[in-house]
């Protein structure tokens, strides 16, 4: 029957996790969870199979036991009722039939009969059958024990595997928790890094924008300075060139006019040299007088002299109705056109300069607005720093005030404790004399009452005079008694000295015994009072010790508070220093938050620009002087060239 059971799965279902290495930690954990679920299901299945085997073995053992008992019990054969007899039932039937047909008690004086031999044979067969059944039962029992041991081993193996799996499960859960924590830490770090990168990107974008804006401002300033320097230079160069051209052209026209007048004076007004023909009426047209350096014509055309002055006067007189030849160009048109060109050039330069001035003005206004914005931003920062400074000062003042108040409260508490202890000590030192005084009064009252009681008794007995005399004669001894170290003994001795003395020759009476009993009671009461006083002293000492411990605990707490305060101050100082360093770094990195060194360097650049402008203006005057010198040299050279030409022509 055990062979028909399903085999136990001893395969180790441990899929390797190396294949899952490229997976994410979450997928690996899910895969491990699935593997653990499969292993648990397999273990549960193996446990179910083992339990089924155990139940079957138990059923087999019970069946064998029942069969054995049935074979050994004396009951009729169930052959007629069982259609399928087994080996156990047949052996039991044969055993029961042999037992039923056998008589166990045989008389000793009778001889064996064939029936007795049959009975002996049946008993022998029954014994053999029982031995076989016993051996079979032993074999079955041994087999069952072996199966039971194997099942126990399987159960132990399963339990060990279960423990290993539980340990692995715990390890996996621990690893899962560690991976979850690592994943959370990684996510937190990634978020922080992302936020930091976003902040840095925003700061970088802002710094790039400010840098571009500053570069634009610097470029605009540079362009403005270049324009301020180049435009006057270009206009000055154009003006000088136009002036040189105009002067050269006028000098050339003046020389040509002088040559023409000299020729007209030599050959006549309407006569031409042999190589020229003049057609004055057709080819000559009246022109406006040229812009020359010649003097104005004289109104008298008839005066002629042989001097040079008269010659120039005649030439000027003849120039009044002057007509130029056809092949000669007018002397006034080029100068007028050049003047128009120069005027247009000056207008163009003026319009350009005005536009550049407008652009520079707009740039200056923009820079002024930016400076105002920067000033407002710096003012806001200044207000914020002032507010933080005020808050820090208020916090410091508050802390100092709290410390001062705490110190004053501590001093007040110490003063109160000092006064409390002084009050307690004073009360103690006042309580002892008060207690002694009260004990004295009580003893005096007791002695007086006792003496009055004795006097009343004696008076009632009729011996009033003697008792009175004896009572008055009974005074305390004048010699001082030795001081005892104990207050109780001293008090008792003092109280005993206050009692009436008993005569030595008189035997103690019942009244004296009563007095001694009262004295003993008073001594006991006094000892109780002294004991209570000692207990109160012990309590006071305990309270003092408790107060001392509380003071020490308060001192420790105060030191801890001071330490915490110092740590807080140190942390606050570190935070302020870090904030200052961060602000300095931001001012150093950002062009808006300029440091004093940067401002100083920018001031140096402004001074450089101003120095360049001043140097340029200082160079303008020598430039004009150089241009004037060049113009003078050109005029002198032109005059010399003209004289040379005149010398060639013989004039």
> 21-40, pLDDT tens digit by residue?
456 767 777 777 777 788 87
Which structural domain, as residue segments, surrounds residue 425?
417-475+484-589
User: In 3-state terms, what secondary structure has residue 291?
Assistant: coil
Indicate if 137 and 29 belong to the same structural domain. yes
Q: Tell me, what's the pLDDT at 320? A: 42
Indicate if 503 and 627 belong to the same structural domain. no
DSSP state of 339: H
Indicate if 530 and 620 belong to the same structural domain. no
245 located within any domain = no
C-alpha to C-alpha distance for 508 and 228, rounded to whole angstroms: 144
The pLDDT tens digits of the residues spanning 550-560 come to 778 777 877 87
Confidence of residue 74 (pLDDT cuts 50, 70, 90): low
Whether the per-residue pLDDT at 223 is higher than 70: the answer is yes
The pLDDT tens digits of the residues spanning 359-408 come to 877 877 787 787 778 778 777 877 877 787 787 778 778 877 888 888 88
DSSP state of 166: H
Whether the per-residue pLDDT at 134 is higher than 50: the answer is yes
543 located within any domain = yes
Indicate if 574 and 625 belong to the same structural domain. no
Q: What is the mean pLDDT of residues 182-203?
A: 87
274 located within any domain = no
Question: Where does 268-305 have alpha helices with state H?
Answer: 280-283
First-to-last CA distance in the chain?
A: 162
Indicate if 613 and 568 belong to the same structural domain. no
Whether the per-residue pLDDT at 453 is higher than 80: the answer is yes
Confidence of residue 410 (pLDDT cuts 50, 70, 90): confident
Q: Tell me, what's the pLDDT at 274? A: 45
User: Does the CA dihedral 201-206-211-212 come out positive or negative?
Assistant: positive
Token output for 213: 């804006």
C-alpha to C-alpha distance for 189 and 98, rounded to whole angstroms: 95
Look at residues 561, 563, 554, 560 and name the one whose alpha carbon lies nearest to residue 413: 554
24 located within any domain = yes
| Domain end (from 565, 589, 613) | 589
**Over the range 454-488, which residues count as b (16 or more CB within 10 Å of their CB) and which as e?**
beeebeeeeeeeebeebeeeeeeeeeeeeeeeebe
What count of other Cβ atoms lies within 10 Å of the Cβ of residue 32? 19
Kindly report the average pLDDT of the chain as a whole number.
68
C-alpha to C-alpha distance for 169 and 44, rounded to whole angstroms: 16
Q: Tell me, what's the pLDDT at 632? A: 80
C-alpha to C-alpha distance for 597 and 612, rounded to whole angstroms: 22
C-alpha to C-alpha distance for 314 and 377, rounded to whole angstroms: 84
Q: What is the mean pLDDT of residues 554-568?
A: 77
559 located within any domain = yes
Indicate if 432 and 566 belong to the same structural domain. yes
Indicate if 559 and 648 belong to the same structural domain. no
Q: What is the mean pLDDT of residues 113-136?
A: 73
262 located within any domain = no
Q: Tell me, what's the pLDDT at 268? A: 56
C-alpha to C-alpha distance for 99 and 101, rounded to whole angstroms: 6
Look at residues 73, 52, 65, 58 and name the one whose alpha carbon lies nearest to residue 4: 52
| Domain end (from 185, 204, 222) | 222
Do the Cβ atoms of 634 and 248 come closer than 8 Å?
yes
Q: Tell me, what's the pLDDT at 462? A: 66
Q: Tell me, what's the pLDDT at 63? A: 79
Do the Cβ atoms of 77 and 112 come closer than 8 Å?
no
In the chain, pLDDT over 70 holds for what percent of residues? 64
Q: What is the mean pLDDT of residues 250-258?
A: 81
The pLDDT tens digits of the residues spanning 501-510 come to 444 444 445 5
Spacing of C-alpha 25 from chain mean position: 29
Indicate if 29 and 141 belong to the same structural domain. yes
- Judged by average pLDDT, the poorest of 167-181, 315-329, 383-397 is 315-329
Number of domains present in the structure of the chain:
3
Whether the per-residue pLDDT at 471 is higher than 50: the answer is no
Whether the per-residue pLDDT at 430 is higher than 50: the answer is yes
Q: Tell me, what's the pLDDT at 379? A: 79
Whether the per-residue pLDDT at 469 is higher than 60: the answer is no
Confidence of residue 87 (pLDDT cuts 50, 70, 90): very low
Indicate if 533 and 438 belong to the same structural domain. yes
Q: What is the mean pLDDT of residues 234-260?
A: 80
373 located within any domain = no
Q: What is the mean pLDDT of residues 97-126?
A: 55
Q: Tell me, what's the pLDDT at 289? A: 44
Indicate if 513 and 610 belong to the same structural domain. no
Q: Tell me, what's the pLDDT at 294? A: 40
Confidence of residue 606 (pLDDT cuts 50, 70, 90): low
Q: Tell me, what's the pLDDT at 82? A: 42
Q: Tell me, what's the pLDDT at 472? A: 44
User: In 3-state terms, what secondary structure has residue 110?
Assistant: coil
Instruction: Count how many Cα atoms sit within 13 Å of the Cα of residue 472 in the half-sphere of its side chain.
Output: 5
119 located within any domain = yes
Confidence of residue 512 (pLDDT cuts 50, 70, 90): low
| Domain end (from 170, 202, 222) | 222
Token output for 314: 């005649």
Q: Tell me, what's the pLDDT at 117? A: 65
**Over the range 489-516, which residues count as b (16 or more CB within 10 Å of their CB) and which as e?**
eebbebbbebbbeeeeeeeeeeeeeebe
Whether the per-residue pLDDT at 301 is higher than 50: the answer is no
Confidence of residue 588 (pLDDT cuts 50, 70, 90): low
Q: What is the mean pLDDT of residues 479-503?
A: 44
Indicate if 548 and 614 belong to the same structural domain. no
Indicate if 564 and 444 belong to the same structural domain. yes
């Amino acid at each position: 029957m055990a062979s028909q059971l399903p085999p136990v799965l001893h395969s180790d279902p441990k899929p390797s996790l190396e294949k899952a290495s490229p997976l994410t930690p979450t997928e690996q954990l899910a895969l491990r969870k699935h593997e653990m679920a499969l292993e648990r299901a397999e273990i549960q299945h193996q446990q179910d199979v083992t339990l089924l085997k155990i139940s079957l073995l138990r059923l087999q053992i019970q069946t064998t036991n029942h069969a054995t008992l049935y074979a050994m019990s004396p009951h009729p054969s169930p052959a007629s009722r069982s259609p399928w007899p087994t080996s156990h039932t047949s052996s039991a039937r044969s055993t029961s039939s042999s037992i039923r047909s056998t008589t166990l008690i045989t008389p000793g004086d009778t001889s064996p009969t064939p029936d007795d031999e049959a009975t002996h044979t049946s008993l022998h067969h029954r014994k053999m059958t029982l031995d076989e059944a016993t051996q079979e039962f032993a074999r079955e029992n041994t087999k069952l024990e072996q199966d039971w041991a194997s099942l126990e081993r399987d159960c132990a193996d399963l339990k060990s595997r279960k423990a290993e799996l539980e340990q692995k499960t715990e390890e996996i859960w621990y690893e899962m928790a560690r991976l979850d924590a690592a994943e959370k830490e990684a996510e937190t770090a990634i978020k922080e890094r992302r936020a930091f990168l976003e902040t840095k990107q925003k700061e970088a974008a802002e710094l790039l924008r400010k840098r571009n804006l500053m570069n634009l401002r610097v470029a605009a300033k540079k362009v403005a300075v270049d324009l301020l320097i180049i435009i006057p230079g270009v206009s000055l160069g154009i003006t000088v060139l136009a002036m040189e051209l105009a002067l050269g052209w006028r000098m050339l026209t003046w020389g040509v006019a002088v040559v023409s007048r000299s020729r007209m004076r030599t050959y006549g007004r309407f006569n031409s040299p042999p190589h020229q023909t003049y057609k004055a009426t057709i080819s000559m047209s009246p022109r406006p007088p040229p812009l020359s350096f010649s003097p104005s014509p004289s109104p008298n055309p008839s005066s002629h002299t042989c001097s040079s002055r008269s010659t120039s006067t005649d030439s000027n007189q003849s120039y009044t109705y002057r007509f130029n030849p056809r092949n000669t160009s007018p002397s006034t048109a080029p100068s007028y056109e050049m003047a128009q060109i120069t005027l247009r050039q000056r207008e163009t330069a003026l319009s350009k300069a005005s536009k550049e001035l407008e652009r520079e003005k707009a740039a200056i206004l923009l820079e002024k607005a930016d400076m105002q914005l920067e000033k407002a931003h710096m003012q806001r920062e200044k207000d914020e720093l002032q507010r933080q400074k005020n808050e820090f000062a208020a916090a410091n003042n508050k802390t100092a005030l709290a410390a001062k108040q705490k110190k004053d409260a501590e001093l007040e508490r110490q003063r109160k404790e000092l006064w409390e202890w002084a009050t307690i000590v004073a009360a103690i030192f006042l309580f002892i004399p008060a207690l002694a005084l009260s004990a004295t009064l009580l003893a005096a009252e007791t002695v007086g009452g006792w003496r009055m009681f004795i006097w009343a008794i004696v008076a009632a007995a009729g011996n009033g005079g003697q008792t009175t005399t004896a009572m008055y004669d009974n005074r305390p001894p004048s010699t001082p008694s030795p001081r005892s170290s104990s207050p109780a003994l001293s008090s008792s001795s003092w109280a005993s000295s206050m009692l009436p003395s008993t005569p030595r020759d008189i035997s103690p009476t019942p009244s004296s015994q009563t007095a001694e009993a009262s004295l003993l009671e008073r001594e006991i009461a006094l000892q109780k009072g002294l004991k209570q006083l000692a207990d109160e002293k012990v309590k006071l000492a305990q309270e003092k010790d408790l107060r001392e411990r509380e003071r020490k605990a308060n001192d420790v707490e105060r030191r801890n508070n001071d330490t915490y305060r110092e740590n807080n101050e140190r942390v606050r100082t570190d935070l302020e220093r870090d904030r200052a360093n961060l602000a300095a770094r931001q001012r150093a990195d950002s062009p808006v938050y300029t440091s004093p060194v940067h401002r100083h360097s920018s001031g140096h650049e402004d001074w450089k620009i101003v120095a360049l402008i001043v140097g340029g203006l200082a160079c303008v005057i020598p430039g004009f002087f150089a241009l004037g010198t060049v113009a003078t040299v050109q005029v002198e050279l032109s005059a010399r060239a003209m004289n040379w030409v005149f010398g060639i022509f013989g004039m």
